[in-house]
């Protein structure tokens, strides 16, 4: 077993076909071919279109990752690939490709849980980062606060009771007639608006580290419909800005609270919503005030990418957690 193995990561769970090569925790390449622009026409990801796009892109994206890294296939020590959660047909493209490479090259296959990949992205940002720490996870499918005890063990301290944060961004974007994916659109629009539309306080009312986005979502849908029915103009930028504050302030607040309660000195974050500039600044400010070190993955490694899959693969490699070639894709798998 090598101390710093060369690992190829492959990701194809949604609309990004991605491949990356890492050596130890150093990123040698990180390539993506996205079908998001095609999907935007349909207002969301169409599974069959995603599968076809992955089939077209997988060979090219893996070649690009190896070329950019300057690594020959025979130099790889393992292949890490997302096996779930995600769109089944999409996952199968990356997984089959990864299995074929593993078999042909005689190197271990490491099946990676996509969400654990998001959690592992922070390890690539700071090579000295070590557990324990508290993490804010906010993606399209999950919103949770976790306590990471060791590289392979974590505890879920709380999570959303209904929609995930990213899902809420996507739904509010639709209400405001913004294209998919909604997160970056809302963020851009919010920059020109003001936080002056009252939002329900219920988000903060939930105890512990749980969240709920359904009340906030319903409130905004009602607000927009009522204004339209009355024929009154409303400022979409103000709606975006007020929503963004209500949806994200609570995340920063609770992750800092959890870190203090657990007595850790470090906070990390992962998932698409962590690419949000307002949330990043808020986390910096609040962790700074609380004397906590904050490790944020680069924006491009918050949204789906293969470097984070390789990073989780490195943890699996060091723990000797290899997968059989019979590993199947899974549309949904628990967080742990």
Separation of alpha carbons 288 and 310, rounded Å: 30
Position 84 contacts ligand KG4 (CB under 6 A): no
Compute CA distances 128 → 25, 45, 150, 266, whole Å.
10, 37, 14, 12
Strand locations in the chain, DSSP E? 6-11, 16-23, 26-34, 78-84, 109-113, 133-138, 143-148, 154-159, 266-270, 293-295
Q: Which does 45 bind (CB under 5 to 8 A by kind): ligand KG4, Zn ion, none?
A: none
Q: Determine which residue in the list 17, 139, 143, 268 makes contact with ligand KG4, applying CB under 6 A.
A: 139
Q: Determine which residue in the list 148, 304, 305, 316 makes contact with Zn ion, applying CB under 5 A.
A: 304
Which residue's CB comes closest to Zn ion? 304
**Can you read off the two tokens belonging to residue 191?**
């920059």
Piece in contact with ligand KG4 (CB under 6 A), picked from 88-96, 178-186, 206-214, 281-289: 178-186
Alpha helices in 231-325 (DSSP H): 236-262, 277-289, 307-319
Piece in contact with ligand KG4 (CB under 6 A), picked from 162-170, 206-214, 226-234, 288-296: 162-170
Q: Determine which residue in the list 5, 84, 111, 182 makes contact with ligand KG4, applying CB under 6 A.
A: 182
Separation of alpha carbons 161 and 312, rounded Å: 27
Per the document, the length of the chain is: 336
Separation of alpha carbons 92 and 331, rounded Å: 10
Scanning the structure block, which residue is given the tokens 């296939």?
A: 73
Separation of alpha carbons 84 and 254, rounded Å: 28
Q: Which is nearer to Zn ion, 139 or 242 (CB)?
A: 139
Interaction pattern, residues 73-102, with Zn ion; x per rule: CB under 5 A = ------------------------------
Piece in contact with ligand KG4 (CB under 6 A), picked from 41-49, 122-130, 147-155, 269-277: 269-277
Scanning the structure block, which residue is given the tokens 């491949």?
A: 19
**Which residues, numbered 286-305, are part of the site for ligand KG4 (CB under 6 A)?**
303-304
Q: Which is nearer to ligand KG4, 107 or 220 (CB)?
A: 220
Position 169 contacts ligand KG4 (CB under 6 A): yes
Q: Which residues bind ligand KG4 (CB under 6 A)?
A: 118, 139-141, 166-167, 169-170, 181-184, 187, 271-273, 275-276, 303-304
Q: Which residues bind Zn ion (CB under 5 A)?
A: 139, 304
């Amino acid at each position: 077993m090598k101390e710093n193995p060369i690992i190829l990561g492959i990701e194809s769970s949604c609309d990004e076909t991605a491949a990356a090569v890492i050596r130890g925790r150093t990123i040698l390449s990180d390539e993506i071919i996205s079908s998001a622009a095609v999907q935007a026409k349909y207002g969301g990801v169409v599974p069959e279109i995603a599968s076809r796009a992955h089939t077209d892109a997988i060979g090219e994206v893996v070649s690009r990752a190896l070329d950019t890294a300057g690594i020959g296939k025979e130099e790889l020590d393992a292949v890490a690939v997302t096996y779930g959660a995600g769109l089944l047909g999409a996952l199968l493209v990356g997984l089959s490709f990864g299995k074929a490479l593993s078999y042909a090259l005689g190197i271990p296959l490491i099946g990676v849980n996509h969400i654990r990949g998001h959690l592992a992205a922070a390890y690539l940002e700071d090579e000295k980062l070590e557990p324990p720490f508290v993490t804010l996870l906010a993606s399209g499918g999950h919103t949770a606060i976790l306590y990471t005890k060791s590289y392979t063990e974590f505890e879920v301290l709380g999570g959303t009771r209904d929609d995930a944060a990213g899902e809420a961004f996507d739904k509010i974007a639709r209400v405001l007639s913004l294209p998919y994916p909604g997160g970056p659109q809302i963020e851009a629009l919010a920059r020109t608006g003001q936080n002056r539309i009252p939002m329900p306080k219920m988000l903060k009312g939930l105890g512990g580290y749980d969240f709920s986005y359904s009340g906030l979502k319903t409130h905004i849908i009602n607000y927009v419909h009522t204004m339209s029915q009355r024929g009154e103009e409303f400022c979409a930028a103000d709606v975006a800005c007020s929503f963004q504050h209500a949806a994200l302030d609570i995340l920063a607040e609770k992750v800092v609270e959890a870190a203090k309660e657990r007595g850790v000195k470090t906070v990390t974050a992962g998932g698409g919503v962590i690419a949000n500039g307002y949330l990043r600044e808020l986390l910096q400010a609040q962790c700074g005030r609380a004397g906590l070190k904050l490790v944020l993955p680069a924006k491009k490694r918050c949204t789906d990418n293969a470097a984070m899959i390789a990073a989780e693969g490195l943890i699996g490699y060091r723990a000797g957690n290899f997968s059989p070639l019979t590993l199947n894709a899974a549309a949904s798998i628990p967080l742990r």
